[in-house]
A and B are shown apart, each in its own frame.
Chain A
Amino acid sequence: MDQGQAHIEQAIARLNHFADGWMPGEGPRAKSLDTPAKSPEDALVEALERINAPQAKGLLDPLQSSREEFDAFVRRVRELVSYYAVIETTSDGAVIARTLVGWTGDFKSLWRRDLTPEQVRLHERNVRAALARRAVLIRLMSVISASAAKIALRLATPGAQLLVLPALWQFIRDVIEELRRAEAQGAR
C-alpha cells in the first residue's frame, strides 16, 4: 500500500469512528494529531451543527467547494462502474502494455511485441497497484455513504444525508492534509 492509500485508510478509520460516536450537541470523541489548528473532527462537528440548525440553508456556503469536489468524486466512481480499470504502462516514453478490466473482472491486455521480462513485471505491478487504488476508492464511497446515513438519522433536517455528504468529503480531505502536514513536520 502506498502512502496515499495509507492516508485514505486512516481517514476512513477516523470517519467510521466519528460516525459511530457523534451525537448532535456533542463534541468530537476522536482526538486529532497534535496540532494547534482546528481538528478535522472539530470542523466536521461545526459543519453538522450548521446543517442541523433550522436556518441551516443559508449557512452552507463553506461547503460549496466540497460539494463540487464530491460531485466530481461521484462521477469518478461512476466511471469505475462503467469500466473498472484502464491501465497503461510506459517505459522510456513508449507504451508497453494496456490492460482493460471489465465489470465482470475479465481482463484484456495488449502488449508490445518484443517484450522483456522486466517490462512484464513492471506492467504487472502497475496493474496490481491500480486495482488496489480502485478498491480503496470504492471503499471510500461505501464508508462515506454509510456514515452519511448514520449521521443523517440523528439530524433534524429533512434530506440531511445529501447535505452531510460534502461535509464528510471535506473531513476526509482534512484528515489527509493533516496527516501530510504531520509527516512533513516529522521529516524536517
Chain B
Amino acid sequence: MNNKKTGNDSHFESANDDAVAKSSSAPSQFEANSAMDELRAMVIPSSSLAAMGLEAAAKKNLPSGQTLGDALKSFIRQLTDSLSQVANDLSSLEVRTFSSDDMSQVHYDLNSGKFIGPVKPRALTRISLDGDTDIVVPEKGDELDETLWAAHVSMVKEAQATRAQFIGSMAEMATRLIALFS
C-alpha cells in the first residue's frame, strides 16, 4: 500500500541518533601506512566527520591504553548493545531529505539528531515492516523540485537495498567475535 500524505516542517522531528555519541576515531597509525591504500579508502574521511560534527563525539569515547583483548571485548559489548537496540527499532525504515542554500554553515548535532544551520526539511519516507509507506513532502508554496525529489527517491531505494545486508553482516561479525572468546 502506498499512502501519500502532505505535511509541514513539523513532521521532521529529530530521529534517535544517540549512537553517534559512541563513535570513536583514531586514524593516525592506520592512515599513515601507505601500503594500506585499499583499506584506507574504506574509512570515513576525518574531514567529513568534522563537517558532520561527529569528530568531537568520536574522540569522547576513544579507547586509549586498552589491550587488544579489552578493546575487542568492549567492541563486542558495543555490538551486541547496538544489535539489541536495532532489534527494537526495525519496525520501519526512514529516509529524510533536507536541502540547504549554504552547506558550509550546516553541521550535525549529535544530541538532537538534527542538522543545525540553514536547512529545510524537504521529504520524508517511512516504510513500515508490513510494507505501508508514508511520504511527507512540503506544503504547497514550498514545493519540492523534481531533481531533489529524484534525489530522495534514489536514497530510499538505496536504503531499502542495503538495510537487510547491513544488519545481517553486523550480526555475523558479532557472532564471529563472540566465538573468538568462547
Name A residues whose Cβ lies closer than 8 Å to a Cβ of B.
3-5, 7-8, 67-79, 81-88, 94-113, 115-117, 120, 123-124, 127-128, 131, 133-139, 141-143, 145-146, 148-149, 152, 159, 161-162, 165-166, 173, 176-177
Contacts and interface: CB of A to CB of B under 8 A. Distances in A.
B43 A79 contact: yes
Interface stretch (B2-10, B67-75, B130-138): B67-75
B151 A111 contact: yes
A48 B56 CA distance: 39
A51 B45 CA distance: 35
Nearest to A146: B176
Interface string B107-124: 010000001000100100
Interface string B31-72: 001011111011111011101101000100111000011011
Contacts of B54: 83, 86
Given A86-B48, A98-B48, A145-B177, A113 B101 contact: yes
Contacts of A81: 22, 75, 78-79, 82, 170
B93 A105 contact: yes
A162 B93 CA distance: 38
Contact of B19 (A77, A83, A98, A116): A83
Contacts of B52: 86, 88, 98, 100
A177 B33 CA distance: 12
A106 B66 CA distance: 32
Given A69-B29, A145-B179, A166-B68, 5 more contacts: A72-B27, A86-B48, A105-B167, A106-B93, A141-B173
A105 B159 contact: yes
B24 A75 contact: yes
B36 A173 contact: yes
B99 A112 contact: yes
A76 B150 contact: no
Contacts of A69: 29-30, 33, 36
Contact of B38 (A5, A68, A82, A152): A5
A54 B119 CA distance: 63
Contact of A104 (B51, B89, B165): B89
Contacts of B159: 101, 105-107
A71 B25 CA distance: 12
A86 B44 contact: yes
A111 B119 CA distance: 9
Contacts of A117: 147, 150
A69 B35 CA distance: 11
19 contacts: A4-B38, A72-B28, A73-B39, A76-B30, A79-B43, A79-B58, A95-B104, A101-B159, A103-B85, A106-B95, A108-B98, A110-B119, A111-B148, A117-B150, A120-B151, A124-B154, A124-B155, A134-B42, A138-B169
B82 to A, nearest CB: 6
B155 A161 contact: no
A75 B66 CA distance: 11
A166 B67 CA distance: 13
- Counting from the closest, the 7 A-B pairs by CB-CB distance are A4-B38, A105-B163, A82-B23, A72-B30, A145-B176, A133-B42, A107-B95
A111 B36 contact: no
Contact of A131 (B17, B148, B158): B158
**Which one of A127, A136, A138 has the greatest number of beta carbons of chain B within 10 Å?**
A138
A98 B104 CA distance: 11
Contacts of A166: 68
